[in-house]
Each structure stands twice: as structure tokens, then as C-alpha cells.
Structure 1
Amino acid sequence: MNSVHANQPLLRVQDLGKSFGGVKAVDGISFDLYAGELLALIGPNGAGKSTTFNMVNGQLKANQGSIRLAGTELIGLKPREIWRLGVGRTFQIAETFASLTVVENVQMALLSHDDRLFSMWRRAADHERDKALDLLDQVGMKAQADRPCSELAYGDVKRVELAIAMANDPKLLLMDEPTAGMAPRERNELMALTKELVLGRGMAVLFTEHSMDVVFAYADRSIVLARGRLIAEGKPAEIRDHPKVQEVYFGSGKTFEKIAQQSADLKAQVNAAVGATA
């Protein structure tokens, strides 16, 4: 356990299982996630990553096991109930309202969090604009607050989605393929921003990711699934050098060495760019 973490995990998953017919998509996996930590959930196609992710979020109900957030059991709760307990989520394909402005998208999330609906007496555009602008400032999008989302570059849309996901002040943020469809520099900038928010807010992030350069550069730890089972858990260097992980990704004779170097180079470039503009 990392010494910077509290003794108790924020998220504790124990003996989690899900079957579809006679097929075990997830087979008795267990892991912990601590506040202030980014945990990558990785594995080859068909490993059970999405099934696990969707059980934590409440979109799928587990057949066995337990998912506890700060001691509260999540299995059996609906996604909205889980969201209200302080679990945010971003999606592989960014979900924003293209016809609304950037700030209005965040205000919609704040309305939902406050359990307010549109009415003839109060316009959504009047609702907590200052708070919405503060969230946009945290993701570097305040200057574009009044632009329609339809005009934004994809990388900026992902930043807006991140602000939306933080509207409920989450303890835990679930990020499903957060860098999908992004160029290498964009995805590293997004994950560097996420890392900054995690440290500043003391929240935890569980994310799925296919880009291993992102995993090696930004995950504090990774858990690796294959055929529904957890086959490895550890820090980036431990996962990179794990023979069984290399085998399920590549077969024999290949390693992550080249990808690890790419991740280090890109992370250094992002850090240098941030330092130059600070």
C-alpha cells in the first residue's frame, strides 16, 4: 500500500463475478482503490474490463461479490443513486449537448445534481453559472465558456466532459477509455490534467485504457484482466515487466519496453509545455 493513502480504501471490490448464460465474463476478482490514486483497469479484448466497469457504475448487476464505496454497498443501487453517492463518469465517446454552450453543459449537470428540472420560472442558464465557470477553469476551458460545444475540437470536448463529471464533486471518477480518438499529445495533456485534479481534490480514478503509453505514464497502479480473471496487479514497472501480462498482450518474445519509452518521452514533453506556460 502506498504510504500516502489512508488505511482504508475508498473503493473495495471483493470476489466480484458476472455471468452471461454459461459464460463467466468476470470471475471472482478483488481489488482496492485509494483516495488520491489513479488505477488503470487493463487487459486484451474480451478480458472483462467493460463488464467490471459497468458493475461499479451500476449499469450491470453482479451475480456475486461486493462493491463498497467508503463502506457503502453499491450492488443493487441504480446508476443515479451511485452518482449521488459521489461517483462521476466519463465515456469512451464524449457525451455533451452540441447545441448548448460549454458553460450550459456544465450547468445542466449541476441542475441534475441539485435535483432541479427546467421550469417556466427558472432558466437553466441562470443556475450556478459561477460554479460552472469554476469547474471549467479547473479544466482549462473557462475562456471558451460561451462557445457552442459543436465548435470545439475533440480534445476540448473531452475537457468539458471532465468538468461535467465533476459537477457532483465526486469521491470516485470512472473514466471509460478517456483518451480514445485523441492524438498522443492531447491524450497526455488530458491525463496530466486528470492527475492534477486527483491530487488537488483527493479523489480517486478508475480508468480503462487501451493506450499503454498513457497507462505507464499516469497510472499509480494497474490491475490486469484476462478472460474475466485478475492475472496481475502492481505499479507500472511491475506490470510492464510481468511475463504473464506480456504474454496475454503479445504472445512470446515481445515486451513493453518501446511503449514505456514512448510514454516517458510524451510525459516529459507535456511537463515541459506546462512549465513553459506556468
Structure 2
Amino acid sequence: MSTPLLQVNNLGKSFGGVKAVDGISFDLSPGELLALIGPNGAGKTTTFNMVNGQLRADQGSILLKGQELLGRKPRDIWRQGVGRTFQIAETFASLTVVENVQMALLSHDDLLMSMWRRAANHRRDDALALLDQVGMKAQADRPCNVLAYGDVKRVELAVAMANSPKLLLMDEPTAGMAPKERNELMALTKDLVIQRGMAVLFTEHSMDVVFAYADRMIVLARGRLIAEGKPLEIRDHPKVQEVYFGTGKTFEKSKA
């Protein structure tokens, strides 16, 4: 197995007397999709926000290629090669598809505050190349506010790729999407992981997506890591079955 890109060790965060994340540890290697799952309140979003720098951890360590991320601001972490997509896609609705990506490139090049530079004049060819990778080049000059939601998600993915991320965090990437759109987006993500040799950590409530595309899974419950392994191992794990469905039920039965 390759050297881990991301190493999370004894990570913890409390809010008042509640331990939202309680000493979890896991690794993530290049070329790997790791699903972070668990019931509501398990600590998934808190974990994401600590890796991304939006929350400061109370304890532990987060290493990206051996460099500590704890204590750094989200923008600094982004510059280290960590991208992120959100449960509700975030794009500039009034800008065109290509201008959204160009804005991300301006930010990457530390030119976002240079108001005399319009997004439309900045690295258009590079922006189009990113859109081509996500299947949106043909719609480059359309405003984002006329796109179907699945296409907005693709634009968001292109924006997230603007800093050539080593690690991509995807928070509920298929939320609000139809089954066909979900599978197309995750298949595209898997292709990008292979092509770029990056790693993806994603949360997801759709178990069909998780089992179809995750290389490994980690399961949280009440802030603690209760299981880790390949999808088939997690599917048959008794503690996971109990936490999700109650004793005696299975993932397969839950789909009926």
C-alpha cells in the first residue's frame, strides 16, 4: 500500500460537554475514495470541518504529506492542495460556467482582489480544460442560474479542481440528485481520482453510491470510529448493522 496522503490521529472536538468527535484516527492514500458514513449526529461534518480548517480541533493531528494542518486557516489549507465541495452546490449563479472556474483560478493565483482583472480574461483555456474533464465544456458560456442541478454539481467539481488538489473533500456530493445523475457524478469523480492520483474523502447518505464507489469505508457513531474496512466488510459488520438499522437487519433488507 502506498504511503498515506492524509493521516488523522486521535482527532477530537467537544462542544460544551458533548464530544462531537472522540479520538478518531484514519489514513487516506493517493488514488483512493474513502467514505465517511454514520447516522445523523455521528460527527461526520465536524470531522470534515476540522480537516478543512473551519473548526479548530481540541486534540489530535491532521497530517497532509507529513505537514500539520491543525491551526491553519481554510485558505492556507486550500493552498496546500485540499479542495472541497458542499452538500448544497456553491457557484456564482449570475456568472457563466467558465467564469466560475476562472474565479477559482484567480483565487489560486492570488489575484482575486485585483479588481481590474475580469474573470473572463484570466486563464480561459485552463478553465475550459477543467470543464472538459467534468463534461461541461459545451456549456461554458451559459450562466449557472439556467443549469440543471446535476450540471451545477459538475461545475462545482471543476471549481474544486482549480487548485489541483491532492485531497478532495466531498460533503454529500449526490444530495438532491436523481439516481442516474448520482452515478454519473461519482463515476466521473472516480475517473478523476485515477487520472490525477488524488484522494477523496466523502460523506454520503445514499448507501448504493457508497457501496458502488468507495474503496474503503469508515463508520462513526456518537463521535467514535466503530468500524473501518472495505465495503463488503462494513456491510456485514454487526456493530454497523446495529447502529444503522437495529439488531438483525441488513443493508440489503433496508432497501426493500
User: Which interval holds the TM-score relative to the shorter structure?
Assistant: over 0.9
The alpha-carbon distance between structure 1 residues 147 and 244, as it changes in their structure 2 partners (threshold 3 A), is same
Q: How much has 1:147 moved relative to structure 2? A: 0.3
Normalised TM-score (structure 1): 0.90
Larger mean Cα displacement after TM superposition, 117-126 or 24-33: 117-126
1:268 aligned partner = none
1:201 to 180, 191, 196: 196
2:106 aligned partner = 111
Deviations 1:96-130 (A, max 9, x none): 00100000000000000000035464322110000
Verify: 1:226 aligned to 2:210, yes or no: no
Q: Is the 8 A contact 1:232 1:239 kept in 2?
A: yes
The alpha-carbon distance between structure 1 residues 241 and 120, as it changes in their structure 2 partners (threshold 3 A), is closer
1:52 to 35, 47, 50: 47
Q: How much has 1:185 moved relative to structure 2? A: 1.1
Deviations 1:41-68 (A, max 9, x none): 0000111111111100000010000000
1:251 to 237, 246, 252: 246
1:18 to 13, 16, 24: 13
2:164 aligned partner = 169
Gaps spanning 5+ residues in structure 1: where? 263-278
The alpha-carbon distance between structure 1 residues 120 and 190, as it changes in their structure 2 partners (threshold 3 A), is closer
Q: How much has 1:253 moved relative to structure 2? A: 2.3
Q: Is the 8 A contact 1:212 1:259 kept in 2?
A: no
Q: Is the 8 A contact 1:118 1:124 kept in 2?
A: no
Gaps spanning 5+ residues in structure 2: where? none
Q: Is the 8 A contact 1:40 1:209 kept in 2?
A: yes
Q: Distance in 2 between matches of 1:48 and 1:131?
A: 37
2:31 aligned partner = 36
Normalised TM-score (structure 2): 0.98
Q: Percent identity?
A: 85
Q: Distance in 1 between matches of 2:120 and 2:203?
A: 34
Give the letter aligned to residue 82 of structure 2. Answer: V
1:272 aligned partner = none
Q: Distance in 1 between matches of 2:225 and 2:117?
A: 50
1:61 to 32, 48, 56: 56
2:135 aligned partner = 140
RMSD: 1.3
Verify: 1:83 aligned to 2:82, yes or no: no
Instruction: Give the number of equivalent residue pairs.
Output: 256
Q: Distance in 1 between matches of 2:115 and 2:126?
A: 22
2:206 aligned partner = 211
Give the letter aligned to residue 195 of structure 2. Answer: G
